Amino acid sequence: MFKRRPTDPASVAEQPEVVPEPALPKPPATDDRGRRSVAAQRDYLLSLIEPLPAFGMYLLDAWGTAVCEDIVADRHLPGDDLVVADGFAVRAGDLADLEYDASATLRVRDDDKVTKVGAAVRVRAGQIMPEGADAIIPAERCTLNGNVLTVHGRVRSGDHVRRIGSDVRVGVPIMRSGERLDARRSALLAMAGIDRVLARPRPRVVVLSVADESSDPTDTESHLLAALARADGAQVWRVALPGGPDRELHDAISDQLIRADIVVASGPLDADAQLVRVVQQMGETDLADVALQPGGRMGFALVGEDRVPLLMLPDEAVEAYVGYQVFARPLVRRLMGAPVVTTAQVNCLAGGELSGDLGTVQVRFGTIREQQGEKVVVPLGQPGHPRLADLLGADAMIVLDEGASSVHLGERVGCWLLDD
């Protein structure tokens, strides 16, 4: 009784596999004012970014980027003892007893060997040391009369000689993975016969400025952010997007994704602002208040099929600048594969009274001066009303951490030196 007939497998409709919608990881916890800490937010964003893949690049193309390999010398540099100055190659032992104010004579040979006692050979800077010679006498320190060379002053073994391996020894690293390739390291690699290195490309940064009815008509932020990204070594495109329908803004942002490793956008960041509304339609989005002043409002998203990172910063110049320094720069450096992505703090003496807000990272601008061997930072402007003029006159960002309610004159405070 109640027996069931076997079910025909063909009669059961296949159920489509449910693929969960992609979503960002759980965001950091907030304080009692609904804000995330600066460090937690920065670490959260960095966890969503992967360094760009590395490939072989010529030295000039890789200039300014971080190499992704340890490069070890496979031979001594230089590979031979080299002449440093135009003059004459000699055996220092032939002139060992010569005093500073005395002179001696040697005979200049026509061949390239200094194997006989009292012999000398004419040489030019950069050539390999002649056989038998161990010192060079610069031309200005001697007199040639026919083939008789008169030497003035003492000569020591190794004078004006660049010894084999004096720059790099076999097996010694020329560059470490993560080090930045500059002009001097390029020269050293070229000397070692290396013309290409494994390096990550310069991040492609698209800077967008999105205006709406409440925005300042002067587009300061995109110029500022684009210049900062360029100073960090990125390839940069700046695009100003005037207000319009959501569909137009959606298409305009989508058009930029094909050439972007990261997008940095500035605009109003209210929950109902057009930039936020459109980005939320394009991918996983996170909008947050951060315990940072100025610049505490920000957003992040992974948009498009390739899930391109998009960072949203306020449309006010000083807030955008602080947001870039604290959050965008670490992301750009992560894409570059830099071993250290955060800006190093320098301890300075406060050149004025500074008031903080417990639980909030307060950023002020200041000028640095040297006083009795110490760096002293003098605050600029008003604490609650930073101006673009303060930023223009500053060479340091004064950073009061969450635990500082105030810093008094002469006390130490952390600063980020500005070099952009």
Q: Quickly count helices (H) and strands (E) in the chain.
A: 9, 26
Q: How far apart are CA 203 and CA 180, in angstroms?
A: 14
Residue 22 lies in a domain: no
> What does DSSP assign to residue 91?
-
3-state helix, strand, coil in the chain (%, to 5): 20, 35, 45
For 10-19, what is each residue's pLDDT tens digit? 554 565 665 5
Percentage of the chain with pLDDT > 90? 41
Left (φ > 0), alpha (ψ -120 to 50) or beta: where does 101 sit? Answer: alpha
What's the distance, Cα to Cα, between the start and end of the chain in Å? 85
Say whether both 146 and 228 belong to one domain. no
Contact between 386 and 364 under an 8 Å Cβ cutoff? The reply is yes
> What does DSSP assign to residue 258?
T
Say whether both 182 and 135 belong to one domain. no
Say whether both 233 and 318 belong to one domain. yes
Say whether both 222 and 104 belong to one domain. no
Give the CB-side neighbour count of residue 98, counting CA atoms within 13 A.
Answer: 21
Residue 231 lies in a domain: yes
Residue 270 lies in a domain: yes
Residue 31 lies in a domain: no
Say whether both 226 and 331 belong to one domain. yes
Residue 242's nearest CA partner among 292, 272, 208 is 208
Rounded average pLDDT over 269-292: 92
Output the pTM of the full model: 0.76
For 175-203, what is each residue's pLDDT tens digit? 888 888 889 889 888 888 888 999 999 99
For 228-273, what is each residue's pLDDT tens digit? 999 998 999 998 887 788 999 999 999 999 999 999 999 999 888 9
Q: Is the pLDDT of residue 1 over 50?
A: no
Say whether both 331 and 379 belong to one domain. no
* End residue of a domain, out of 279, 308, 336: 336
Number of domains in the chain: 4
> What does DSSP assign to residue 295?
-
Say whether both 131 and 179 belong to one domain. no
Residue 139 lies in a domain: yes
Q: How far apart are CA 345 and CA 416, in angstroms?
A: 5
Say whether both 183 and 148 belong to one domain. no
Residue 62 lies in a domain: yes
Q: For residue 132, what pLDDT is reported?
A: 87
Range of the domain at 119: 82-162
Say whether both 218 and 295 belong to one domain. yes
For 354-383, what is each residue's pLDDT tens digit? 888 888 999 999 999 988 888 999 998 877
Contact between 168 and 78 under an 8 Å Cβ cutoff? The reply is no
* 76-85, 124-133, 317-326, 383-392: segment of lowest average pLDDT: 383-392
> Domain with 61 in it: what CATH number?
3.90.105
Q: For residue 212, what pLDDT is reported?
A: 67
Give the contacts of 292 (CB within 8 A, at least 6 positions apart): 38, 322, 323, 326, 360, 361, 363
Say whether both 45 and 135 belong to one domain. no
Residue 29 lies in a domain: no
Residue 15 lies in a domain: no
Q: For residue 9, what pLDDT is reported?
A: 54
Rounded average pLDDT over 61-78: 85
- pLDDT class of 220 with cuts at 50, 70, 90: confident
Radius of gyration, alpha carbons of the chain: 33
Say whether both 72 and 86 belong to one domain. no
- pLDDT class of 56 with cuts at 50, 70, 90: very high
Say whether both 61 and 102 belong to one domain. no
**Mean pLDDT estimate for the chain:** 86
Q: 51 vs 1, 74, 206, 333, CA distance in Å?
A: 66, 29, 17, 8
> Domain with 282 in it: what CATH number?
3.40.980.10
Q: Is the pLDDT of residue 28 over 60?
A: yes
- pLDDT class of 2 with cuts at 50, 70, 90: very low
